[in-house]
Every structure is written in structure tokens, then in C-alpha cells.
Amino acid sequence: MIVKRLQAGVYAANCYIIHTLDGDAIVVDPAGDVDDIMAYITKKSIKVNSIILTHGHGDHIGGVMELKNKLKIPVMVHSADEDMVKSGDLNLSTSMPIGDVSFEPDRLLKDEEIIHLGNKEIKIIHTPGHTRGGICLLMDNILITGDTLFQGSIGRTDLYGGDFDILMKSIMSKLMVLPDETKIYPGHGGDSTIGYEKKSNPFIRKASKDA
Ligand SMILES: [Zn+2]
Ligand SMILES: [Zn+2]
């Protein structure tokens, strides 16, 4: 699997283009800068079959409709964040410079669902807490974490649908059980691994101590 990161949109969120060696691809969180995303797709001659959103926040979805209309592909989000992508007020885009971004998702995802990408499988892991419908995507030893888990930190929990205890439970029970060598690609900032976060992330160290 190849993971290409592009910083996209006004808040430079991480958009990931994930593709197999055969050229089957998905785009995760097209936050904007759709021309850059299209340029990579064209350069690599890959075929994108869907857009998957890690969660419904405005800083991750600004380019969704433009990319969807260009490529004629479905947009998928966890069912618990459906209300957010449909409402610019709930996803906060109405208070961002991009203005109202709202749309109807094509497919609603659920926990442990498998998405097929060529001969590869992507597992959806529901990790509520930053939003109610936050998900991580696991394929081979690659984990896309959205705003659930960052290098050295975790997602904020003071926005609509956020809950600190639920977020920590998601991280500890669903992510920290993965092998240490699992590579983490977050929604903001740089990459990491599960093993590195276990050792150095203050939120995870505290939760392990308290457990
Ligand atoms: Zn977010
Ligand atoms: Zn974000």
C-alpha cells in the first residue's frame, strides 16, 4: 500500500491518497486543494473508487463535493456523523473562511466494516470521542487516525459530539491493542507508530498508569 499525504484546505488538514500497487485508490478527507489531489491521481494513473471521511468536521471536508463531482465516486462517513456532514452549523464550516459545506453522504459506515480496495482490505474501526462518528482506517500495518489520535496528542473533545472519556476508551481499547509497529497517519501533523505513542504520548501514558 502506498500512502500519499497532501496538506489540504484552509487549515492544512492531512488528506491521504491511499493506493495499491495495482493502482486502486481511495481518498481520505479531501479538505480542499482538489487540484493538487487530481494532479497526483493523474501523475500516478490511479483509479479512485471512493472518498472516505474520518469524521464530519469542516476542516476535513471542504473539497469533498468538488472531488466527488470530478471523479463520480461515492462519499462514505460513519453513520453517527451523518448529521454533521449534512449541516454546516454542526460541522462548523459556516464559521470557517470556506463557508457552508454540507452534503448528503452516499454510504454510511459502521464499526468493523470491510472496504475492498483491489486485492486489499480496509477495516473501519469506529473510534468515537472526538466526534460521535469518528473512525480509523486499518490496512496492513497502516492506520489512518483522523482527529482521534495525533503524534503526541489526541483530538479535542470540547466540540459537538466530543467526550474525553469515550475518546480515551476508543484509543486504549481499539488502537493501543494493535501491534507496536503499526504506522499512524493522523488528520493533522506528522506520522507516528502505535509503539512510539505508547511510550511518549502523555494522554496514553496517563491512561495506562490509571488502568
Ligand atoms: Zn475534527
Ligand atoms: Zn481536524
Mean pLDDT of the chain: 97
**pLDDT at position 11:** 87
Which ligand has an atom closest to residue 59 CA?
A: 2
Judged on CB neighbours under 10 Å (0-12, 13-18, 19+), 120 is middle
C-alpha cell at 120: 486489499
Can you list the domains of the chain with their CATH numbers? 2-210 (3.60.15.10)
Amino acid at 95: S
Judged on CB neighbours under 10 Å (0-12, 13-18, 19+), 165 is exposed
Contact 111, 124 (CB under 8 A): yes
Average pLDDT over residues 53-77: 97
Query: Predicted confidence band at 9 (pLDDT cuts at 50, 70, 90)?
Result: confident
DSSP 50-108: EEE-SS--GGGTTTHHHHHHHHT--EEEEGGGHHHHH-TTTSSGGGSTT-------SEE
What are the pLDDT digits (tens) for 116-144?
999 999 999 999 999 999 999 999 999 99
Q: Compute, in angstroms, the gap from residue 14 CA to the centroid of ligand 2.
A: 8
What percentage of the chain carries pLDDT values higher than 70? 100
Report phi then psi at 127, rounded to 5. -130, 75
This prediction has a pTM of 0.97
Which ligand has an atom closest to residue 158 CA?
A: 1
What are the pLDDT digits (tens) for 154-190?
999 999 999 999 999 999 999 999 999 999 999 999 9
DSSP 95-117: GSTT-------SEEE-TT-EEEE
Amino acid at 24: D
Report the distance separating Cα 88 and Cα 66, nearest Å: 16
Q: Compute, in angstroms, the gap from residue 22 CA to the centroid of ligand 2.
A: 30
Q: Compute, in angstroms, the gap from residue 106 CA to the centroid of ligand 2.
A: 22
